[in-house]
């Protein structure tokens, strides 16, 4: 399975994270290579997004209700709006790549690291999910202990995203730092981007909009706990 790591190349924190990620990737015997995917530069991100017909459609402050989906959209902490858009667009480009390659890929962010060897590609291919989170929820998302325990309380190796909030709150993966995505899932995310506009990745990629969104009971990655390059 091809693996891509989103990295901000001129950011020391991001590069240090990528180096740790790469080392862990190789440590667990993955010799098929980890490709660095450069995040969209801040000076170009809005122009590139507009050129692809994408507009930001999520509040920067407070809350608002999305009429089409019925979901409540709550603002994420963001000091520089361009960083949030850049994060979305960096994933968006990899969704495009997944469709173009017509094969399942692994998408990682620079602050993740492997903690055990990934199973064979065929294991993910057989799963009845189009997008599969593989990250340990601990310290990676809100209500992380509840999220973590709900997964471990089930015996299924692949299972749906845990329900930890009211039905109208977007609920997705434990952050988007590590997930496997199939071409059909990538195509669906690209379609959602056009239909709903750009949202924070882990808000748009929610079970309410992505029915075949799942997680693994085994956690293969964990966040490094680096200083955020998106919110600050």
Report yes or no: 142 and 37 within 8 Å, Cβ to Cβ: no
Asked whether the predicted pLDDT for residue 232 surpasses 70, the reply is: no
- Asked whether residue 230 is assigned to any structural domain, the reply reads no
- Asked whether residue 181 is assigned to any structural domain, the reply reads yes
- Asked whether residue 193 is assigned to any structural domain, the reply reads yes
Report yes or no: 74 and 42 within 8 Å, Cβ to Cβ: no
Residue of 52, 49, 74 lying closest to 64 (CA atoms): 74
Kindly report the CATH number assigned to the domain that includes residue 114: 3.90.550
Number of domains in the chain: 1
- Asked whether residue 229 is assigned to any structural domain, the reply reads no
Return the SS3 of 223. strand
- Asked whether residue 112 is assigned to any structural domain, the reply reads yes
Asked whether the predicted pLDDT for residue 28 surpasses 70, the reply is: yes
**CA-to-CA distance for 6 and 29, rounded, in angstroms?**
21
The tens digit of pLDDT for each residue in 123-139 reads 999 999 999 999 999 87
- Asked whether residue 232 is assigned to any structural domain, the reply reads no
Report yes or no: 173 and 179 within 8 Å, Cβ to Cβ: yes
Domain span including residue 42: 2-223
In the chain, % of residues over pLDDT 90: 83
- Asked whether residue 155 is assigned to any structural domain, the reply reads yes
- pLDDT at residue 231, rounded to an integer: 57
Provide the pLDDT confidence category of residue 94 given band limits of 50, 70 and 90. very high
Report yes or no: 18 and 103 within 8 Å, Cβ to Cβ: no
- Asked whether residue 147 is assigned to any structural domain, the reply reads yes
């Amino acid at each position: 399975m091809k693996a891509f790591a989103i990295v901000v190349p001129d950011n020391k924190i991001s590069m240090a994270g990528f180096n740790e990620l790469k080392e862990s990737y190789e440590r667990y015997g993955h010799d098929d290579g980890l490709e660095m995917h450069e995040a969209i530069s801040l000076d170009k991100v809005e122009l590139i997004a507009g050129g692809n017909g994408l507009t930001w459609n999520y509040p920067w402050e407070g809350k608002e209700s999305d009429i089409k989906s019925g979901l409540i959209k709550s603002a994420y902490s963001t000091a520089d709006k361009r960083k949030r858009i850049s994060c979305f667009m960096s994933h968006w480009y990899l969704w495009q790549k997944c469709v173009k390659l017509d094969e399942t890929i692994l998408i990682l962010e620079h602050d993740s690291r492997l903690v055990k060897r990934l199973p064979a590609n065929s294991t993910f291919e057989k799963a009845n999910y189009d997008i599969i989170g593989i990250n340990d929820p601990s310290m990676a998302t809100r209500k992380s202990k509840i999220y973590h325990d709900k997964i471990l309380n089930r015996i299924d190796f692949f299972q749906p995203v845990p329900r930890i909030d009211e039905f109208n709150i977007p609920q997705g993966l434990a952050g988007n730092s590590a997930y496997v995505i199939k071409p059909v899932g990538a195509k669906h995310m690209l379609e959602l981007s056009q239909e709903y506009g750009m949202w924070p990745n882990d808000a748009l990629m929610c079970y309410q909009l992505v029915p075949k969104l799942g997680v693994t009971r085994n956690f293969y990655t964990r966040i490094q706990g680096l200083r955020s390059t998106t919110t600050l």
